[in-house]
Amino acid sequence: MKFSELANYFERLEATTKRNEMVALLAELFKSLTPQEIEKVAYLCQERLVPNYEKIEFGISEKLLAKSLAKALARDEEELWNLYKEVGDLGLLAQSYIGEGKDKLEVLEVYNRLMDIATTVGKGSIEKKTDKLAELLSLSSGKEAKYISRIVLGRLRLGIGDPTILDAFSYAYSGDKSLRPVIERAYNLCSDLGLVGFTLFSKGLEAIRDFKVQVGKPIRMALAERLPSAEEIISKIGKCSVEPKFDGFRCQIHKDGDRIKIFSRNLEDNTDMFPDLIEGARKQIDAESAIIEGEALAFNEEAQEFFPFQVTVQRKRKYEIETIMADLPLKLFAFDLLYVDGEDYTPRPYIERRERLKNLILPGNVIMIADSIITDNPKELNLFFENAIGSGLEGIVAKRLDAPYQAGARNFNWIKLKRSYKGELSDTVDLVIIGYYVGRGARAKFGIGSLLAGVYDPDTDAFKTVAKIGSGLTEDEWVKMKGLLDEIKVNSKPSRVISILEPDVWVEPKYVVEVRADEITRSPVHTAGKDGEELGYALRFPRVERFVRIDRRPEDATTVQEILEMYNMQRKIEVKE
């Protein structure tokens, strides 16, 4: 396909906010592409060149783009920069100055050139990147240049999330969304939309049905549901395994010979941050290749105890790793096994995975197996829970004995039970910031007074509001928050946001904060759970408990469904009291 045709599709996608139309347009687009083009376009639609978990960034700032554009147009750089200041959008500027064009470029050629630009590193790379981008822009028509500019700046903002692409694959292949579950299963096993699209359209549906876990590609993590008591857990899943809930960060470790990769909860490649875990995995995983999961915690050698989360999280950094590693060595409590030496363990029951995990980990001082009990007695479960709390842990996770590892799913195969705070919701929620209000009163001087925040609705691939948050941040944090949000502010409501309230400033749904509240109430002004005339749901007295969570993508936020479940759970507790 010609890149100009793709640009036309981008333009049509940009013009609609209706998800059905978006899916239909994308399906039409995928139908007219080769499998290889589908792979690349699936990434490009999300301003990327590779799957989310791979780290390739363009490294192109507005200044650099303006420089390339000036070069392509043989105009003065400063003059162009001043024009940009007036227009406010380099993409539009590129379009109007380049004008009608030649439409020569193919999609794959543009992709390859963009890849070349993104992977140009080292000495003199800025100069080289600018030249290469200038060359690409000089080959483009105005419309093509507009979208190339937006892609390299990460400002395509078509509002296309993963579920929308998965639906479009299904429509393109079969004319309806019936294949979504099987396509999604493959996606959950590799987290790579391009690979899934390529496999479906080059090898067919059977290959997707047969899709297997691959070492090196992160598996979307299984998540836990909540229940308020040991009794309810036992009555829900019967005899189960109970493990401590460690408060560190989740790691999915992939071992392929001597090569180790470590993925975070939101599937980022964190390998470089954890040399100690890598060493541990090399020494202690007794297999040629394997994928295990566990929770990493910083260990205080002096006191021989684990540090709290606030300390552990300091290990998540990119610089001076050696120094911090010496102060805060990590240990990993392994709790699941997903793959060993050619064998996909995800379909196998928990109990079998755990047995194999125990044999797989050799004794050593980095990786340990989380201890557990198997019980169908609520009293025994409670005792284990109290012990866990007593030793400073968050609570417990109960696991259904016969459950497979369901990649990407949050369900009752795992149930978490945490300390409950009297009169408050027993759990915090993770909300996506979608806008802010400029401050009044004391906070007016910061220009930010409260946040409009929402939950994720995977069915419609949209963010729906649930709270206006005005507390929980220090003055410094408000200032920092405004800085972060101003970088991603947009002129109008983003297409994936559903909101009745209008904040003073809309932002791209990107940052997730952890929020505590007193309770969930019904509300006419919030859209989470709102169905036609029915009321939505809102958090009462919400406050930020943890500043922007770097381990969460917006789609990892609490879902509408979870809010409904927490609301029902709260009502049950009220009735009991």
Looking at residues 484 to 543 of the shown chain, list those that interact with ligand ATP (rule: CB under 6 A).
none
Q: Would you say 90 or 397 has its CB closer to ligand ATP?
A: 397
Q: SS3 of 262, please?
A: strand
- For residue 556, the minimal CB distance to ligand ATP (Å) is 7
Report CA-CA distances (Å) from 242 to 69, 251, 333.
60, 20, 14
Binding of ligand ATP by 246 (CB under 6 A): yes
**Which member of 19, 48, 150, 245 binds ligand ATP (CB under 6 A)?**
245
Contacts of 125 (CB under 8 A, 6+ apart): none
Q: Would you say 192 or 336 has its CB closer to ligand ATP?
A: 336
Query: x/- binding map, residues 335-354, to ligand ATP, per CB under 6 A?
Result: x-------------------
Whole-angstrom Cα distance, residue 306 to residue 500?
A: 45
- For residue 425, the minimal CB distance to ligand ATP (Å) is 12
**Which member of 162, 167, 295, 555 binds ligand ATP (CB under 6 A)?**
295
Whole-angstrom Cα distance, residue 553 to residue 570?
A: 27
Binding of ligand ATP by 250 (CB under 6 A): yes
Looking at residues 261 to 280 of the shown chain, list those that interact with ligand ATP (rule: CB under 6 A).
265
Binding of ligand ATP by 316 (CB under 6 A): no
* Helix pair angle (35-44, 19-31), 10° resolution: 150
Closest CA to 431 of 510, 490, 485: 510
Binding of ligand ATP by 555 (CB under 6 A): no
Q: Would you say 37 or 243 has its CB closer to ligand ATP?
A: 243
| 225 within 8 A of 418, measured Cβ to Cβ | no
| 516 within 8 A of 545, measured Cβ to Cβ | yes
Q: Would you say 225 or 504 has its CB closer to ligand ATP?
A: 225
**Which member of 224, 311, 479, 564 binds ligand ATP (CB under 6 A)?**
224
- For residue 243, the minimal CB distance to ligand ATP (Å) is 4
| 380 within 8 A of 345, measured Cβ to Cβ | no
Looking at residues 50 to 89 of the shown chain, list those that interact with ligand ATP (rule: CB under 6 A).
none
Select from 61-69, 228-236, 245-253, 306-314 the region that touches ligand ATP (CB under 6 A).
Answer: 245-253
**CA–centroid distance for 277 within its chain:** 23
Whole-angstrom Cα distance, residue 165 to residue 48?
A: 14
- For residue 444, the minimal CB distance to ligand ATP (Å) is 33
Q: SS3 of 18, please?
A: coil
Report CA-CA distances (Å) from 563 to 217, 455, 537, 560.
31, 8, 8, 5
**Which member of 1, 92, 223, 389 binds ligand ATP (CB under 6 A)?**
223
Binding of ligand ATP by 227 (CB under 6 A): no
Q: Would you say 41 or 370 has its CB closer to ligand ATP?
A: 370
Size of the site for ligand ATP (CB under 6 A): 12
Select from 51-59, 70-78, 151-159, 244-252 the region that touches ligand ATP (CB under 6 A).
Answer: 244-252
- For residue 358, the minimal CB distance to ligand ATP (Å) is 14
Select from 2-10, 96-104, 179-187, 240-248 the region that touches ligand ATP (CB under 6 A).
Answer: 240-248
Q: Would you say 208 or 357 has its CB closer to ligand ATP?
A: 357
Catalytic-residue membership of 245: yes
Looking at residues 318 to 337 of the shown chain, list those that interact with ligand ATP (rule: CB under 6 A).
335
State the pairing for strand pair 505-507/462-469: unpaired
Residue with token string 């899709």: 211
Closest CA to 520 of 540, 543, 545: 540
Phi, psi (rounded to 5 degrees) for 206: -60, -40
**Which member of 167, 243, 461, 508 binds ligand ATP (CB under 6 A)?**
243
Q: Would you say 97 or 309 has its CB closer to ligand ATP?
A: 309
Whole-angstrom Cα distance, residue 36 to residue 171?
A: 18
Whole-angstrom Cα distance, residue 13 to residue 19?
A: 10
Please work out, in degrees rounded to the nearest 5, the angle formed at the alpha carbon of residue 430 by the alpha carbons of 429 and 432: 135
Residue with token string 């993590």: 221
Q: Would you say 497 or 515 has its CB closer to ligand ATP?
A: 515
**131 DSSP 8-state letter:** H
Q: Would you say 250 or 282 has its CB closer to ligand ATP?
A: 250
Q: Which of 67, 146, 217, 245 is catalytic?
A: 245
| 364 within 8 A of 399, measured Cβ to Cβ | no
Structure tokens at 461: 């691939």
Whole-angstrom Cα distance, residue 52 to residue 263?
A: 12
Whole-angstrom Cα distance, residue 296 to residue 313?
A: 10
- For residue 552, the minimal CB distance to ligand ATP (Å) is 8
**Which member of 105, 397, 452, 520 binds ligand ATP (CB under 6 A)?**
397
Residues engaged in binding ligand ATP (CB under 6 A): 223-224, 243, 245-246, 250, 265, 295, 335, 370, 397, 416
User: Which of the residues are catalytic?
Assistant: 245
